[in-house]
Amino acid sequence: MRIVLLGAPGSGKGTQSQRLVERLGIPQISTGDLLRAAVARGTELGRAAKEAMDGGRLVDDALVLDMIRERLGEPDARRGFILDGFPRNLAQAHALERLLATLHKPLDAVVQLEVDYGELARRIAGRRTCADCGRVFNLLTSPPAANETCPRSGTPHRLIQRPDDNEATVAERLRVYDEKTRPLIDFYRARGLLKVINAEGDVEEVTRRLAQALAALTPLKRRRAKAARPVRPAKRRKPAAKHSRKAKPALRRPPAARRGQHGRAGRGSRGSRGSRR
In this predicted structure, what is the pLDDT of residue 276?
Answer: 46
Catalogue the active-site residues.
Answer: 13, 88, 127, 162, 173
CATH 3.10.105.10 fits 2-116+169-219, yes or no: no
Nearest to 110 by CA among 86, 77, 136, 76: 86
Q: What is the pLDDT of residue 239?
A: 59
Are the C-beta atoms of residues 87 and 96 closer than 8 Å to each other?
Answer: yes
Q: Please give the pLDDT value at position 183.
A: 95
C-alpha Rg value of the chain to the nearest Å: 39
Burial of 124 (0-12, 13-18, 19+ CB in 10 A): buried
Contact by Cβ (8 Å): 62, 48: no
How far apart are alpha carbons 228 and 236 in whole angstroms? 24
Q: Which of 177, 198, 200, 159 is nearest to 85 (CA)?
A: 177
**Residue numbers of the chain with a pLDDT score lower than 70:** 58, 217-277
The verdict on pTM exceeding 0.85 is no
pLDDT of residue 17: 92
